Amino acid sequence: MPNQVKPSIFHRILRIITARPASKSGERGLSLGAQILSQLFLLFVAATVIYPILWVVSMSFDPRDISRPTELRLNPFQGGLSVKAYADIIQQPTANPVSLGQLMFNSFRLATLTGLASIIVGVFASYAFSRLRFRGRQVLMIAVLTVLMLPSIATLPALFVLLNKIQFDVGSGVFNLRNSLIGVGLAILSGSLPFAIWNMKGYLDTIPRELEEAALIDGCTPNSAFFRVTLPLSTPVLAVTFFLGFMSTWTEFATSWLFLTDPKNFTLMMALYNMVGQYSDSTPWSHFAAMSIIIALPVTIVYLFVQRYFVGGLAIGGVKG
Amino acid sequence: MTALANRANVPKKEIHRRSIFRTVTPYLYLLPAFIVMGIITYYPMLYQVWMSFTDYGLTNLRYNAPPPNFVGLANYINIETNQLGLSYYYFWHVLGFNLFWAFSNVIIHVALGILIAVILNRQGVWFKGIYRALYILPIVVPQIIVANIFKNMFDPDYGAINQGLAILGKFFFDLSPALFHIHWIDQIDYPVSWIPLTLSYYALLITNVWLGWPFMTIVASGALQSIPKDLYEAARIDGASENQQFWRITLPLLRPAMVPAAVYGLVMTFNLFSLIYFLSGGGPLNETAILVTTAYDLINQQRLYGVAAAFCVYIFFILLALTLITNSITRATESYDA
């Protein structure tokens, strides 16, 4: 049997460009006029999508080292690339005495722990809602949905006051739960946990019940059927729910800005707000651009790979903002 | 029969034990989540209702501070009669603008989403793969970062919007670049004198349309691909024009997918804190403030925790009404389609 020839890169690119479904007989192509009109329209839309992104990327690499862009520059390679903005940012992003590493570490800790906590605590409840029948199921589901409906800001006054009540003396001063990353994490979890429960329940509903029933017939107890059959099968939704929780906390602003006062606890988004908000007169825009990219790039890349698993189904449930 | 026979062999005590196990297990599964939510979600929500009847303020935050005074419905009345410390705050304006903001956005998102999806899914359009890959970008870039970038893009002197418009104006109409120093965010006069919307509303709208239409396009694309091709074939044979096919086949068959997506978008946009707070900050003169940004100002600037709590109770009931109304609309269309 002859070796199958793998399509060359060129052919693959050509296929993406022409992206024609294997043409069946009877299908009509577009007339040239309609094709040109469609292309013009789609190109215009693509230009509006890419415009802000090109602007920010080329500003972050701007070699001129100026504080404000005096003219439009969309080609990042125009006049050469400079990574000075990134180097400056890594040393000290804002006037606060805190390094980019510390900011990243804070955001990363916060996002990882709230993301993990929401799936670990939530998965059992979502299993109960999806599979088990019990008295009060309806009421409890409405209780979860009610929180889902509320924006996270609508519970901030009480969370601020209650977390602020938990203060105690530690050797070097007073520990205030409100003014700590743990407090911020708890406040974020209070809104992200119901979302996680609902999101995971939706997926568990689609796992065939027969798989568990088969395990029960083979002598599994209901609990071990959950741990050995359903839980392993729901790994994709655990990963996606963790990622959604991670991403919303990674870019969370309202709670951390309200709660935290000590610069060593600050998060990336708080630093970015300092660079565009009312205190930003001295920040060069190349710094702001580099900082935006540093924050956005990791989550954007991961999102790009996982979005096709859930963007279509996002209409049910939804991400809390 | 065999099940019954098996059952007879099991001692009565054992059956009893199993049935208790069955009734208790679900609650054991629910326990971790509801303990956590009880402490950090439901207790704060109830506490907030109590707070809303008090004058909880900065002085009550100190450790060992005296409890706040009970003020009855004063907070609720003050919010409604605009007796707050916030400048240019009018409750009905905020609520009205908030509703208009949500509806105007979603209508544009859905219309644009369908239009782009229909053109993108036409047979034989070139470069489909490239366009699809590009059009996903506004969904995957974090919203709050986009708000930041657009904030600087709308800058009157150095922003990419004015600079881009100046280049286009020069190229197509030979207009002087000096014309394009539009103060998108802080111009107080209404651009169209008989429409009471500031320029910052349009800036917010442009940004949110940039963010919002791709999601609707994805939903519409999915629904379009599930419409049977024979329908169009039959319509063509019966002599229907492309236009008629769109209005009589495509649009009605898209509706079951688009209505839930629109409702979801409506609630998301209604509570869109980050975009408005970062881009316009509710300004100028509080013209573009929505409910959640006002609540945040009450806590973050004014430090009026009691008033903010009352405001959040208002938000709760407004959202409840909005959810019930939109749900009944969704149901109504469902039964129509069935």
pLDDT tens for B103-151 read 999 999 999 999 999 998 888 888 888 898 899 899 889 989 999 899 8
Residue of A161, A213, A241 to mutate, interface with B, max B Cβ within 10 Å: A161
Residue B319 to residue A122, Cβ atoms within 8 A: no
Q: How far is CA A119 from CA A128, A244, A251, A304, B33, in A?
A: 14, 11, 19, 21, 10
**Residue at token pair 């203060």:** A167
Please give the helix or strand (H or E) that residue B263 lies within, else none.
Answer: helix B251-270
Q: Please indicate whether, in this complex, the C-beta atoms of A158 and B45 are within 8 angstroms of each other.
A: yes
Which conformational region is residue B286 in: left (phi greater than 0), alpha (psi within -120 to 50 degrees), or beta?
Answer: left
Q: Which two tokens stand for residue A37?
A: 């009109």
Residue A64, judged by CB atoms within 10 A of its CB (0-12, 13-18, 19+), counts as: exposed
Q: What would the pLDDT profile of A23-44 be if each residue is shown by its tens digit?
A: 443 445 678 888 899 999 999 9
d(C-alpha B190, C-alpha B196), whole Å: 6
Residue B171 distance to chain A (closest CA, Å): 14
Q: Residue A11, SS3? A: helix
Q: What is the DSSP letter of B68?
A: P
In chain B, which among 295-324 make CB contacts under 8 A with chain A? Answer: 295-296, 298-300, 305, 308-309, 312, 315-316, 319-320, 323
ipTM of the complex: 0.84
* pTM summary value: 0.85
Which residues between 101 and 130 in chain B have a beta carbon less than 8 angstroms from any beta carbon of chain A? 116, 119-120, 122-130
**CB burial string B315-336: b at 16+ within 10 A, e below:** bbeebeebbeebeeeeeeeeee
**What DSSP letter does each residue of B116-167 carry, written as one string?**
HHHHHTSTT-TTHHHHHHHHTHHHHS-HHHHHHHHHHHT-TTT-HHHHHHHH
pLDDT for res B194: 84
pLDDT value at residue A23: 44
Alpha helices in A132-230 (DSSP H): 137-149, 156-165, 181-204, 209-217, 222-225
pLDDT in tens, chain B (338 residues): 444 445 555 566 666 666 776 788 889 999 999 999 999 999 999 999 999 999 888 888 887 778 888 888 888 988 888 888 777 888 999 999 999 999 999 999 999 999 999 998 888 888 888 898 899 899 889 989 999 899 889 988 888 888 888 888 888 888 887 788 888 888 888 888 888 888 899 999 999 999 999 999 988 988 888 888 888 889 989 988 888 888 888 898 888 888 888 888 888 899 999 899 988 888 788 889 999 999 998 898 888 899 999 999 999 999 999 888 888 877 766 544 43
Are A189 and B36 in contact by the 8 Å Cβ rule? The answer is yes
pLDDT of residue B338: 36
pLDDT digits (tens), chain A, 321 positions: 444 555 566 565 555 555 544 444 344 567 888 889 999 999 999 999 999 999 999 888 888 877 788 778 888 787 778 888 888 888 877 777 788 888 999 999 999 999 999 999 999 999 999 888 888 888 999 899 888 888 889 999 999 999 988 888 887 788 888 889 999 999 999 999 999 999 899 888 888 888 888 888 888 888 888 888 888 888 888 988 999 899 999 999 999 999 998 888 899 999 888 887 666 677 888 888 899 999 999 999 988 888 776 655 544 433 333
Distance from CA of A89 to the nearest CA of B (A): 16
* Residue A321 pLDDT: 35
For residues A287 and A85, the answer to whether their CB atoms sit within 8 Å is yes
Predicted local confidence at residue A175, as pLDDT: 86
Cβ-based contacts of A121 with chain B (< 8 Å): 32-33, 36
The string of DSSP letters for A208-225 reads -HHHHHHHHHTT--HHHH
- With residue A87 as reference, give the H or E element that holds it: helix A84-91
First-to-last C-alpha distance (Å) of chain B: 40
Q: Give the model's pLDDT for residue B48.
A: 93
Q: Which amino acid is at A291?
A: M
Instruction: Tell me what pLDDT residue B263 has.
Output: 86
CB neighbour list of residue A98: distance below 8 Å, 6 or more residues apart: A92, A263, A264, A266, A271
Q: Which of A42, A51, A71 is facing B119, going by the closest CB pair? A: A42
